[in-house]
Structure 1
Amino acid sequence: MILMGVIFAYLLGSIPTAVWYGKIFHGVDVRQHGSGNAGATNSLRTFGRKAGIIVLIIDFLKGFLAVLSARFFFSDTTLDKYLFLMMGIAAVIGHLYPVFAQFRGGKGVATALGVIAASFPMTVILCLVVFLIIVFITKYVSLGSMISALAFPIQIAFNVWGINPDHDPYYLAFGSFLCLILVFTHRHNIQRLMKGTENKIGAKK
C-alpha cells in the first residue's frame, strides 16, 4: 500500500500542466520559450494571465490531492502517520521530473504549496504572506518562492522546539527537505539574482 501510494502521488505530480496547456491551446512547448520552465510563471509570461492562473491552480491541486489521497485512501497502513509526507514529496518530484513529459518539468513551487496546504493548513498562510511581501518589494518571483519555502521549516521548528514541544520532529525533516528541493530547482535563478539579470514580474520583455 505504501509503494502504491507513492507511485500514485508521483504519477499525479507528473501531469505536465504547462506543457499540455501550451501544446493543446497554442501548439507550442512552453519549455522552448521564456525561461524554459514548465510552470505557472513561465506560462504567464509566455501565454498570458489566463494560462498562468490555470496552470497554477492545477499544479497546486496535484500536491494538495496527493496528500489528501494519502489520508483518505491509504490510512490503513501502519505508516499512515507519515505516508502523507512521502506522497507529498513524491508529487513534487513528479512535477520536477514528469514521466509524461520526458522528465523535464517545472520548479515545484505550486505543487509544493499544495502539499503544504493539505499537510499544514495554518502554516501555508504565513508562507503565502512571506511570498507576497517579498515579491511586492523586490518584484522577483523566484526570490519570494525561495524565502517562503525557507519560512516553512522555520515555522515547523518553532512547533518542534518551542510552541508545541510534542510536535513530531519528522515534520521538521519533511519541511527542510522540501525547502532544499525548491532551493535546488532555483539554483539558476540564484545565479541570475547574484548577477542582477533575473527577470522581474511585470517587467517589459
Structure 2
Amino acid sequence: MRYLLFIAAGYCCGSILFAYILPKIFYDIDITKLSDDKNPGTHNAFRYGNKKVGTKVLILELLKGFLPVFIGAGFLDVNNNMFAVVMAAPVLGHAYPLYRHGRGGKAIAVSFGVLMGLYPIITPLSLLVLFYILFSCVICISPDSCKSIITFVCFGVSALLLCDSKAVAAGCIAITAIVLFRHYQKHVAENLEISLFRKRVI
C-alpha cells in the first residue's frame, strides 16, 4: 500500500508542468505555442521566457522528481522491485499528465531530479551527468533531441550493467523507456505538422 501511495504522489508531482505554468502566470507566455516542438519543458522556459523564470522552473522540475523519491526511499525498501515504479512515476507524470490529455514534456529535468532523490546512491545520477557532458562538450551531438536520445540510451545500458540494486537499475530502464518514447512521439508529431504545412502551401 505504501508503494502505491508514493507512486500516486510521484505521478501527481510529475504532472505539475512548471515550465508551462510559471511563464503563463508571470509573463502571460504560452511556451507550447511559441516553441517549434510545443514542449512544456525547462529548455523552452529559458528560451521563450527569461533566465529568472527559467531558473525557477529548473529548480521546481528537479524538486518534483527529487522529493517523492527521496522521501519514498526513507520509508520504502529501495531494493524492492516496486521501487522501480516509484522512480518512474514522476517522469511518467511529466511526460503524460492526465489534465493535459497526455501532452506533457520530454522529462529530462525531472529525470535528473529522480536520480538526485536516490542519494546516497549516486551511480545512476553520475552516469546521466557523465553522458550529458560527454555528448555536449566532448562528442558534440545536435540537435538537442538527438543528444538526449543517445544520452539516455547510454545511460540505460550502463545503469543496467553498473547499478548494484536490480530495482534501481529497473527504475533507470523505465525512465529511459519513457523519455525515449516521448521523444519518438514528439518527433512523429513534428514531422506530421511539417507534412500538413507543406500540403497547405502546395
Tell me the TM-score range normalised by the shorter chain.
0.7 to 0.9
Question: Which structure 2 segments of 5+ residues have no match?
Answer: 195-202
Q: Which structure's relative contact order is higher, taking Cα pairs within 8 Å and 6+ residues apart?
A: 2
The answer (yes or no) to whether the contact 2:79–2:167 under 8 Å persists in 1 is no
1:9-158 equivalent positions in 2, closer than 5 A? 9-34=10-35, 35-72=37-74, 74-75=75-76, 81-119=80-118, 120-136=121-137, 137-158=140-161
Change (3 A) 1:79 1:117: closer
Change (3 A) 1:150 1:24: same
Distance in 2 of aligned mates of 1:90 and 1:168: 18
TM-superposed CA distance for 1:140, in Å, is 2.8
Q: Secondary structure at the match of 2:16?
A: coil
Q: Deviations over 1:106-162 (max 9, x none)?
A: 1111111111222342331232132123234234322232222123222223336xx
The answer (yes or no) to whether the contact 1:131–1:147 under 8 Å persists in 2 is no
The answer (yes or no) to whether the contact 1:135–1:143 under 8 Å persists in 2 is no
Name the counterpart of 1:203: none
Identity of aligned residues (%): 26
Q: Secondary structure at the match of 2:172?
A: helix
Question: Which structure 1 segments of 5+ residues have no match?
Answer: 161-166, 198-205
- What TM-score comes out, normalization by structure 2 length? 0.78
TM-superposed CA distance for 1:66, in Å, is 1.4
Give the one of 174, 177, 180 matched to 2:177.
180
**Over the residues paired in the alignment, what is the CA RMSD in angstroms?**
2.8
> Which stretch shifts more, 8-17 or 167-176?
167-176
Change (3 A) 1:157 1:7: closer
Q: Secondary structure at the match of 1:147?
A: helix
- What TM-score comes out, normalization by structure 1 length? 0.77
Distance in 2 of aligned mates of 1:68 and 1:11: 15
Distance in 2 of aligned mates of 1:81 and 1:44: 38
The answer (yes or no) to whether the contact 2:95–2:104 under 8 Å persists in 1 is yes
The answer (yes or no) to whether the contact 1:71–1:80 under 8 Å persists in 2 is no
Distance in 1 of aligned mates of 2:34 and 2:20: 11
Change (3 A) 1:83 1:108: same
